[in-house]
Amino acid sequence: MSEVSKTLIMNKFTDRFFAFPIKIYDSLSLGRAMEFEESVGMKADAEWITGVARISAKDLENITWQDGYSNGRTIVEVKEEGFDLTIVYTEIWGEYICMWTRKKFEEKLNEFMARQPQEKEENNLTL
- Give the model confidence (pLDDT) of 22-73 as tens digits: 999 887 877 787 788 888 877 777 788 999 999 999 999 999 999 999 988 8
Contact 28, 48 (CB under 8 A): no
Q: Could you tell me the residue ranges of all domains in the chain? A: 3-114
pTM value surpassing 0.85: no
- Of 25 and 6, the one with more pLDDT: 25
Q: How many Å apart are CA 41 and CA 17, to the nearest integer?
A: 41
Nearest to 109 by CA among 17, 40, 10: 17
Sheet with 94-98, edge to edge strand ranges:
48-56, 17-25, 94-98, 85-90, 63-68
| pLDDT confidence band for 121 (50 / 70 / 90) | low
Percentage of the chain exceeding pLDDT 90: 53
